[in-house]
Structure 1
Amino acid sequence: MKTSDKGVIIPQQAFDWYDEYAHGDIDRRTFLSRLATLSAMGVTLAGVTAALTPNYAEAEQVSFNDAAIKATYELFSSPNGYGEGKGYLVLPKAVVDGASAPAVLVAHENRGLNPYIEDVARRLAKAGFIAFAPDALHSLGGYPGNDDDGRTMQRTLERDKIVADFQAAAQFLHAHPSVTGKVGIVGFCFGGYLANELAATIPDHIQAAVPFYGTPPTSDMSQIKGPIMLHFAELDQRVNGTWPDYQMKLDEMQVPYQAFTYAKVNHGFHNDSTARYHEASAELAWQRTLEFFKQHLN
């Protein structure tokens, strides 16, 4: 069991079931009915549901009004995807004043461009990178304001076209007049898969990739150049089961990579809006990520 930041004691089964629900393996009714079976353990359905539901207002680390950054929404062409993409572009103040900087593409989870991912983009800008976070749901009107509807919407999209949209976003960054020519990608959950996928499909446009608990590319891996930094959660059996074969392939191709597994944490441990968040592991993974980008993009 784990006590959440909201004071709710959550059995590990609840995290596992939530992961199944969040990735479409079970529906909401099944998820809630399973949670109801934990009542004998003194766990309330309302308490667990509240703890596992994102609270983005509490999780914001960098304000959109922060004087050290400038954030806008920008459109880009995606002829092989859904025609047009839209993303959240965040510039460091030095870039606003005329400097150039390397860029990082931020790939969201399986629910669209939610406030957590926008905050990640702002954190990158505070660290000196130009950050761009596309919204895969743009063709459907954009992130709807809640994750449940966002997940439902994203399931209706074609994965190959989402990939094409993010490839186009990487090209958009490369063409940005303030970008030095170096572009990396960081992604979380489905975005972790996108980070791996873009490293495989457009290696000349991605100079460094950091997937957080992401599954391997589904495309041909023979073009991967790396470097890649991979973050895994020890309790994330679904994603971790895909790593040995991927690792073997990277080793065979002599792709430079680093892989870290964080003890006793769940899938989604970097997302500070839910009870799956683990502050020490999230901060360590993030500092490693920033240093990795500074090493390979500057």
Structure 2
Amino acid sequence: MADISGYLTSEVVVDYADGLIERREALRRLALLGVGAAVAVPMLAACESNGKPAAPAPSGDVPTGLPTEAITFTGPRGTLQGAWAAAADPKGSVLVIHENRGLTDHIRSVAGRLAASGFSALAIDLLSEEGGAATFTDPAKATAALNAAAPGRFVADLRAAVDELLRRAPGRQVAAMGFCFGGGMTWQLLAAGEPRLGAAAPFYGPFPGGGDLSGSKGAAVLGIYAEKDARVNASRDAATQALEQAGLTHEIVTYPDADHAFFNDTGQRYAPQAAAQAYEKLIGWFTTHLR
């Protein structure tokens, strides 16, 4: 879990550097992630010379999707929770993996949009073992709970979600996609050699150190990045190299003038034009590569 822990820590630092949270809140979130003040204070101090203004509030209309329903299904360690949206005539099915706050209304809406576009979708809640994301009134504590999870737990839960998609949409290939933390988990599912994926689309997700994608031979991978997201882009070349070495069909797209989490219409970095272009690209990719 070292990759995940380091990534979640850097999320807090970048949010502080970009003016999205105050210093006290940054220190609180870092403490919840197990980063002591002796380490956290100089980390934040290194950002304070950037002088970045707070990001603007989100704007722009978001296409509506189909409604989702809350479901439960069997996981390797107990019951898993999720949001399910069924397409009328599915061209395939998609596993949607959330950001570092657990299953939110925004992620549910992504599942609904996919269903409206012809792909049945299951948005998993990786905090199911803790009672679900809805049990956390403090989003920072939800992030801390993800950080504290046992190694290998999430990949096992994601495999169970693939099982559930195949049960609900038999005869249709499965894709996986995720955002931020969920983008990283999409890469990890590929690196774990999940053979049942026909396609995958990690959105600005960190590539795991030493990741080997050769076990996921059937997956066509669309990697989505943002030009201003230097932190995640630092692993983009490693992801590209791993895709090439594994011989996977792939495309890497970096959206200009967009920053991390640009697809999230509830967040301060939302970029409507880039988000619309990325969604159109995503649907085209799944349409082409899912059978």
Q: Give the C-alpha shift of residue 253 in structure 1.
A: 2.5
Q: Give, in whole Å, the separation in 1 of the partners of 2:278 and 2:181.
A: 18
Structure 1 equivalent of residue 81 of structure 2: 86
Q: Which amino acid aligns with 2:84?
A: L
Q: Which amino acid aligns with 1:296?
A: H
Q: Which of 239, 248, 253 is the aligned partner of 2:241?
A: 248
* SS of corresponding position for 1:264: coil
Structure 1 equivalent of residue 215 of structure 2: 223
Q: Which of 11, 15, 20 is the aligned partner of 2:18?
A: 15
Q: Give, in whole Å, the separation in 2 of the partners of 1:60 and 1:161.
A: 36
Is 1:76 matched with 2:73? yes
Q: Which amino acid aligns with 1:282?
A: A
Q: Give the C-alpha shift of residue 61 in structure 1.
A: 4.1
Is 1:103 matched with 2:93? yes
Map 1:13-162 onto structure 2 (within 5 A).
14-15=17-18, 48=54, 61=62, 69-79=66-76, 82-92=77-87, 94=88, 99-143=89-133, 144-162=136-154
Q: Give, in whole Å, the separation in 2 of the partners of 1:243 and 1:146.
A: 31
Deviations 1:149-201 (A, max 9, x none): 3212222212410121011101111122x343211011001111121222232
Contact 2:212 2:246 (8 Å CA) reproduced: no
Q: Report runs of 4+ in structure 1 exceeding 6 Å deviation.
A: 25-29
Contact 2:195 2:216 (8 Å CA) reproduced: no
How many residues end up aligned between the 2 structures?
264
* SS of corresponding position for 2:265: coil
Cα distance 1:134–1:102, how it changes in 2: closer, same or farther (>3 A)? same
TM-score (norm 2): 0.77
Q: Which of 175, 180, 185 is the aligned partner of 1:194?
A: 185
Structure 1 regions of 5+ residues with no counterpart? 1-10
Deviations 1:111-159 (A, max 9, x none): 2101111111111111111110010111111112552232122222124
Q: Give the C-alpha shift of residue 14 in structure 1.
A: 3.5
Structure 2 regions of 5+ residues with no counterpart? 1-13
Structure 1 equivalent of residue 5 of structure 2: none
Cα distance 1:115–1:59, how it changes in 2: closer, same or farther (>3 A)? farther
Q: Give the C-alpha shift of residue 292 in structure 1.
A: 0.4
Q: Give the C-alpha shift of residue 296 in structure 1.
A: 1.1
Q: Give, in whole Å, the separation in 1 of the partners of 2:52 and 2:178.
A: 36
Q: Which amino acid aligns with 1:132?
A: L
* SS of corresponding position for 1:245: helix
Q: Give, in whole Å, the separation in 1 of the partners of 2:61 and 2:101.
A: 18
Contact 1:134 1:169 (8 Å CA) reproduced: yes
Contact 1:102 1:130 (8 Å CA) reproduced: yes
Structure 1 equivalent of residue 6 of structure 2: none
Q: Give, in whole Å, the separation in 2 of the partners of 1:71 and 1:108.
A: 15
Q: Give, in whole Å, the separation in 1 of the partners of 2:269 and 2:18.
A: 7
Structure 1 equivalent of residue 165 of structure 2: 173
Identity of aligned residues (%): 28
Q: Give, in whole Å, the separation in 1 of the partners of 2:52 and 2:249.
A: 48
* SS of corresponding position for 1:180: coil
Contact 1:114 1:145 (8 Å CA) reproduced: no
Cα distance 1:42–1:189, how it changes in 2: closer, same or farther (>3 A)? closer
Q: Give, in whole Å, the separation in 1 of the partners of 2:177 and 2:52.
A: 39
Structure 2 equivalent of residue 8 of structure 1: none
